[in-house]
């Protein structure tokens, strides 16, 4: 019996770090908001509303992988003509490139909290590295769905020209775009 | 001559005070995003706007007045079901209170730049003091309209419970951060 318990403990101990747990992105608590300066005066913001993705996450082994894609036709700024311009060839060119994808496969931890996710963003058919920095990270038991949920707030600032999005640079529209990312994922 | 110069200066100062520049809120660049912490884990955000209203600025005299109206039912989180929940009586109560208002007459300046605006926010029919601090402030000439545009980014904080919008606490925090983008086009 002791032996069996020991074996079981060993197996669990080995299996859990090796496989971690699978999480599915909760679309109701996962959004990306971009921020870009407007004539040095105020900040324009827009939000990407349609997304799906998965996370594998292993707190014991301090590893993880996230794959999330955004349907770029669902951009929302609150200004309909601007949404249309952003979807056009000057910016996201959604007819040719309907989605953007982030794959993060290096999770940096401080204790059991994720502090950074390093990965690649594919946008307009080009792939370039991006590091997301966490300003919040936590796991909790959601009382409604009775499952563990992990998530947080991440941000990064990227240069849109790296993905070939250069419209307006010669007119003073900034290259730097800050992303504010809310993410929660539900344990499967 | 000295007296004339003095009188002129006085008159100019008087005129500046008498006729502050009036800016009409630019609906394409004036929104409020709110941020509230969800289960101590991630930040829920939603958008109100476009804002409607006007700002009077007398930068020489260091004075200003702002009057904004916010249609509460137009709240937009990117999730229609959540928007509908927010409109209910225990949160925004949009049927009983379709408008929120921000009115402020207490402006702080650093030279020509607005640094803070203190006034009153009326939400769900309840008025509370609200300070909005400028993260940036600037003016530029609108390239198409050839008019002066002034605006900036402001942040403020409120406790939604103070306005009676207390559903979901404490899982969804009481403290709400406001991020305000505002631009006004000179009339």
Confidence band, pLDDT 50/70/90 cuts, at residue A122: very high
- Quote the percentage of chain A above a pLDDT of 90: 87
CB of B147 within 8 Å of a chain A CB? The answer is no
Check residue B19 and give its pLDDT: 77
With 0-12 / 13-18 / 19 or more C-beta atoms within 10 angstroms meaning exposed / middle / buried, residue A2 is exposed
pLDDT above 60 for A8 = no
Confidence band, pLDDT 50/70/90 cuts, at residue A86: very high
Kindly provide the ipTM of the predicted complex, given to two decimals: 0.88
Check residue A20 and give its pLDDT: 84
Each residue's pLDDT tens digit, A155-178: 999 999 999 999 999 999 999 999
Are B178 and B25 spatial neighbours (Cβ–Cβ below 8 Å)? no
Are B138 and A40 spatial neighbours (Cβ–Cβ below 8 Å)? yes
Average pLDDT estimate for A83-88? 97
Confidence band, pLDDT 50/70/90 cuts, at residue A10: very low
Residue A150: which of A7, A24, A17, A1 has the closest Cα?
A24
pTM for this prediction: 0.88
- In a 3-state reduction of DSSP, which class is residue A49? strand
More confident residue, A1 or B93: B93
Each residue's pLDDT tens digit, A22-59: 999 999 999 999 999 999 999 999 999 999 999 999 98
Average pLDDT, chain B: 91
Residue A117: which of A173, A176, A53 has the closest Cα?
A53
CB of B38 within 8 Å of a chain A CB? The answer is yes
Give B-chain residues touching A40 at CB under 8 angstroms.
136, 138, 140
The rounded distance, in Å, linking the Cα atoms of A71 and A158 is: 19
Give B-chain residues touching A137 at CB under 8 angstroms.
41
Q: Which domains does chain B have, with CATH numbers?
A: 21-186 (2.40.128.110)
Decide if B43 and A40 are in contact by the 8 Å CB cutoff. no
pLDDT above 60 for A65 = yes
The rounded distance, in Å, linking the Cα atoms of A91 and A88 is: 6
- In a 3-state reduction of DSSP, which class is residue B113? strand
Question: In A55-154, which ranges are continuous DSSP H helix?
Answer: 80-87
CB of A34 within 8 Å of a chain B CB? The answer is no
CB of A79 within 8 Å of a chain B CB? The answer is yes
In chain B, whose CA is at the least distance from the CA of A171? B143
Look up the CATH architecture of domain A20-187.
Beta Barrel (2.40)
Confidence band, pLDDT 50/70/90 cuts, at residue A19: low
Q: Hey, where are the domains in chain A?
A: 20-187
Average pLDDT estimate for B33-50? 97
Residue B114: which of B153, B171, B158 has the closest Cα?
B153
Confidence band, pLDDT 50/70/90 cuts, at residue B18: low
Each residue's pLDDT tens digit, B68-91: 999 999 999 999 999 999 999 999
Size (chain B), residues: 187
CB of B26 within 8 Å of a chain A CB? The answer is no
CB of B57 within 8 Å of a chain A CB? The answer is no
The rounded distance, in Å, linking the Cα atoms of B48 and B125 is: 17
CB neighbours (10 Å) of residue A106?
A: 12
DSSP state of A22: E
Decide if A180 and B41 are in contact by the 8 Å CB cutoff. no
pLDDT above 90 for A150 = yes
- HSE toward the beta carbon, residue A38, CA cutoff 13 A: 25
Check residue A116 and give its pLDDT: 98
Confidence band, pLDDT 50/70/90 cuts, at residue B15: very low
Each residue's pLDDT tens digit, B91-147: 999 999 999 999 999 999 999 999 999 999 999 999 999 999 999 999 999 888 999
The first and second tokens of residue B96, run together, are: 């009983």
Average the pLDDT over each of A52-56, A106-110, B5-9, B18-22 and give the range with the smallest value.
Answer: B5-9
CB neighbours (10 Å) of residue B176?
A: 21
Confidence band, pLDDT 50/70/90 cuts, at residue A17: very low
Are B68 and B90 spatial neighbours (Cβ–Cβ below 8 Å)? no
The rounded distance, in Å, linking the Cα atoms of A184 and A180 is: 14
């Amino acid at each position: 019996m002791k032996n069996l318990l020991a074996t079981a403990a060993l197996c669990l101990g080995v299996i859990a770090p090796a496989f971690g747990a699978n999480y599915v992105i909760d679309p109701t608590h996962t959004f990306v908001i971009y921020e870009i300066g407007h004539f040095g005066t105020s900040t324009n913001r827009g939000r990407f509303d349609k997304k799906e993705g998965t996370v594998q996450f292993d707190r014991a082994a301090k590893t993880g992988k996230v794959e999330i894609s955004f349907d770029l036709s669902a951009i929302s700024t609150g200004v309909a003509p601007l949404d249309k311009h952003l979807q056009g060839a000057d910016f996201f060119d959604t007819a040719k490139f309907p989605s953007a994808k982030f794959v993060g496969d290096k999770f940096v931890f401080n204790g059991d909290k994720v502090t950074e996710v390093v990965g690649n963003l594919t946008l307009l058919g080009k792939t370039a590295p991006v590091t997301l920095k966490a300003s919040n990270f936590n796991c909790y038991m959601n009382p409604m769905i009775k499952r563990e949920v992990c998530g947080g707030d991440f941000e990064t600032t990227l240069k849109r020209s790296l993905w070939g999005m250069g419209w307006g640079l010669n007119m003073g529209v900034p290259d730097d775009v800050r992303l504010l990312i809310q993410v929660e994922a539900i344990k499967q | 001559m000295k007296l004339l110069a003095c009188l002129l200066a006085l008159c100019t100062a008087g005129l500046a005070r008498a006729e502050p520049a009036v800016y009409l809120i630019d609906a394409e660049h004036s929104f409020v995003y709110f941020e509230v912490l969800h289960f101590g884990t991630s930040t829920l955000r939603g958008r109100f706007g476009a804002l409607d209203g006007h700002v009077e600025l007398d930068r020489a005299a260091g004075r200003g007045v702002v009057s904004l109206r916010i249609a509460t039912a137009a709240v937009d989180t990117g999730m229609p079901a959540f928007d509908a929940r927010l409109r209910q009586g225990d949160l925004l109560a949009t049927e009983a209170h379709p408008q929120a208002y921000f009115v402020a007459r207490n402006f702080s300046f650093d030279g020509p730049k607005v640094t803070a605006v203190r006034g009153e926010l009326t939400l769900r029919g309840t008025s509370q003091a609200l300070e909005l601090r400028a993260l940036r402030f600037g003016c530029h000439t609108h390239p198409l309209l050839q008019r002066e545009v002034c605006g900036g980014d402001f942040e403020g904080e409120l406790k939604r419970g103070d306005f009676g919008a207390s559903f979901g606490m404490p899982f969804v925090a009481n403290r709400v951060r406001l991020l305000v983008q505002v631009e006004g086009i000179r009339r």
